[in-house]
Amino acid sequence: MNPRFSTVPSHKKTRIMFGKGTKMYSIRKFKCPHCQEGKFFVSHVYDLRKVGDVRESCDRCGVHYSKEPGFYFGAMYVAYAIGVALFVALWVSFNLFFDYVSTGVQIIVIVLATVFLSPFIFALSKIIWANMFIPYDPKALELKEKEVH
């Protein structure tokens, strides 16, 4: 059999890439990177009073989300990268598919998209940053239950 061709069906590849146990699952669902069950944020992403507020620890497995004071300052670099990707994607889309749109309109749309997506980008950058440093443990909930009993 040729190793270049996968025998895994395409619908299962999606489950493998985005399913529970992957970093993408935790990022996509805004769940605890360690057990992927508990909530990561205090409230909804667009709750502007608590935007980006991360819980102190997971309510399911008990892992502490902040490894040290200032842990999430590194998420600024992730947010910057996401912001640049958003700008480039919009700019390229305008110039490839909507070349009749003026530069002023392009700038206004890019600025508005950035402003409206800022809370989401802020939250997304924090969960990505946490997933870079907090490993997934499929037995995290079992270990937590054993500690309680």
Residue-wise pLDDT tens digits, 20-34: 889 999 999 999 999
Please indicate, yes or no, if residue 5 is contained in any of the structural domains: no
Please indicate, yes or no, if residue 48 is contained in any of the structural domains: yes
pLDDT given at position 18: 73
pLDDT given at position 8: 59
What's the whole-number mean pLDDT along residues 128-136?
A: 95
Residue-wise pLDDT tens digits, 33-55: 999 999 999 999 999 899 889 99
| pLDDT-based confidence at residue 4 (cuts at 50, 70, 90) | low
Please indicate, yes or no, if residue 12 is contained in any of the structural domains: no
Domain residues for the domain of 58 are 21-148
Question: The pTM is what?
Answer: 0.82
pLDDT given at position 7: 63
Q: Which 3-state string (H, E, C) describes 60-109?
A: CCCCECCCCCCHHHHHHHHHHHHHHHHHHHHHHHHHHHCCCCCHHHHHHH
Please indicate, yes or no, if residue 35 is contained in any of the structural domains: yes
